[in-house]
Amino acid sequence: MSRVKQGFRIELAPTPEQAAAMGRHAGLSRFVENFALDQIRAAFAARAAEEHAGIPASQRTKAPWTAIDLEKRWRAEHPVVAPWFADSGLSSRIPKAACRLRAAGLKNWWESKTGKRQGRKVGFPKVRKRKHGSRFRYDADRAKPAGDGTVALPGIPGKVRTREPLTWLTERLADGRARIIGSTVREQAGRWWVTFQLDVDRSDINTARTVDPDAPTCGIDLGLKTFAVIAGDTGDVEEVHAPRALNAGLRRLRRANKALHRKQRGSANRAKARQAVAEIHLKVANQRADFLHKLTTRLARSKRAIAVESLNVAGMKRNRRLARSISDAGFAEFIRQLEYKTGWYGSKVWAADRWYPSSKTCSACSAVNSGLTLSDRMWVCQCGAEHDRDHNAARNLLAAMHAAT
């Protein structure tokens, strides 16, 4: 049995009463997160003052680092800081999950600061505001399907209908192939989704979709002009063009933002204009996600090995002329999806060294053209071979993977 962690996201169709209740739960989560942050900041300020006063470290105020510490503070102080909570009818599980979120953020910040966490630096947790979006969490299986078309959310009146069947999930929950370990309810552009975090056995799906041992391999060069150039070991080259969802929606987004800023603050028309902006952003995100999921699923199910570049996406975004296009492409998300999907279907991803000159190396004679610039889309090697920059890079990545493995 092969069990993995996986998310299952589905859109809800709440009644106005249920949507209002979910909005109140999102407000409660935001309130508790900010309460926890205030407790942490106050403890840090007290420790700094005590250190300045010469008080020994063992006698200084203890900062509430863990979720348990923060939960104790909330239970002790909510009668004073939130007297409305006891009679609000809101789920008591929301503050618990909010404290866990803050504790996880603190841990990530500290491990990043001390060098224990890989990847980009993580900053100290910030105050959560309404404009950051509405969302709240339930721990364990507090939220769960209540049938093939409804879910039960603690604190939300009645059963909330879903816009799609839950059969895939309910069947696996019934026979033990899946277990809910948490859930998140989130609002975007006036629409609500619930995401179940699952511990699930995917053996049946993965076995049915396992890559053939004789399946081809490929090298993939990512770029902005052509999103992916895929060079196969049979000599074929495929060009995949991204929808450039943000670029396509920029004109509508500019007009919607201008309309928003012309509206009076607090007015009903401003709320409608804000909704219009949110809908454009949601459409852009959905178009990008749809493209990336379809492409990565196709590759993971049809190639037994895939060679890619190790891209420094954060560094690439520092180029202000290209930052928007790089963000719109979603290179990092493409690699992330490839990595976990190839793990599902028995294929693998091989990443070249970040400094490997895939574009500058001649795929015919292996000579390196050190004078090649980003604007040179076609170039001729000293051996006489003529190269398309992206096609050549994809072939070199494929050859490097075969040489390394």
pLDDT by 10s per residue, the chain, length 405: 578 999 999 999 999 999 999 999 999 999 999 999 999 999 999 988 988 888 888 888 888 889 999 999 999 999 999 999 988 889 999 999 999 999 999 999 999 998 888 877 889 999 999 888 899 999 999 999 999 999 999 999 999 999 999 999 999 999 999 999 999 999 999 999 999 999 999 998 888 999 998 999 999 999 988 999 999 988 899 999 999 999 889 999 999 999 999 999 989 999 999 999 999 999 999 999 999 999 999 999 999 999 999 888 878 888 888 888 888 899 999 999 999 999 999 999 999 988 888 888 888 888 888 888 877 888 888 888 888 888 999 999 999 999 987
Burial of 357 (0-12, 13-18, 19+ CB in 10 A): middle
Q: Are residue 195 and residue 317 in the same domain, yes or no?
A: no
When divided into structural domains, the chain yields a total of 2
pLDDT for the residue numbered 321: 85
Q: State whether 12 and 104 are in the same domain.
A: yes
Identify whether 69 is a catalytic site residue: no
Indicate the residue among 188, 204, 220 that finishes a domain.
204
Tell me how far CA of residue 75 lies from CA of 41, 79, 95, 172, 225, in angstroms.
18, 8, 9, 36, 55
- What pLDDT does 148 receive? 94
Predicted confidence at residue 383, as pLDDT, reads 87
SS3 98: helix
Q: Same structural domain for residues 184 and 218?
A: no
Residue 338 makes CB contacts below 8 A (sequence gap 6+) with: 296, 299, 300, 306, 308, 349
pLDDT for residue 199: 96
Return d(Cα 335, Cα 405) in angstroms, integer: 20
Residue 114 sits in the same domain as residue 179: yes
pLDDT at residue 326 in the model: 86
For residues 389 and 318, membership in a common domain is answered with yes
Catalytic annotation, pick one of 69, 71, 187, 309: 309
Query: What does the pLDDT read at residue 367?
Result: 85
The predicted model scores a pTM of 0.88
Q: Which of 71, 187, 201, 390 is catalytic?
A: 390
pLDDT for res 59: 84
383 and 248 in one domain?
A: yes
Residue tagged active-site, from 33, 71, 221, 328: 221
Q: Name the domain boundary from 176, 204, 232.
A: 204
Predicted local confidence at residue 99, as pLDDT: 95
CA distance 117 to 115: 6
* Domain co-membership, 294 together with 360: yes
Q: Which residues constitute the domain of residue 199?
A: 3-204
The per-residue pLDDT for 54 is 87
Q: Does the annotation count 390 as an active-site position?
A: yes
**199/21 Cα distance (integer angstroms):** 28
